[in-house]
Amino acid sequence: MYAVIETGGKQLVVKVGESIFVEKLEGAEGDEIVFDKVLVVGGDKIQVGTPYVEGATVNAKVEKQGKDRKIQIHKWKSKNGSSHRRQGHRQPYTKLVIETINI
């Protein structure tokens, strides 16, 4: 069985027992999070929501809160020797383990 959920402005396909990385969510390690924005539930019978499937939820457990690896951003304007800028960014994330898909 699988489900398509919406979180952090993105849509993710999830299965029971799978680990996923999502935009940072509130909650400590070990907390349970319930996603009620379920777009599709699949398995023997596929249910498609308009826009969400009524009564469908996905339960997940927070495994880890962290930051992704650093990316370097370098801004430079050509033909202008004094306009250089270097910047880094680390995106925060939440690692979840999908426990159940409820219909």
Q: Give residue-wise pLDDT tens across range 17-49.
A: 999 999 999 989 999 999 999 999 998 889 898
Here the tokens at position 35 are 């996603």
* Statement: the pTM of the whole predicted model exceeds 0.75: yes
Name beta bridge partners: 62. 96
A 10 A CB-CB count for 62 gives 18
Calpha distance 72→86 (Å, rounded): 7
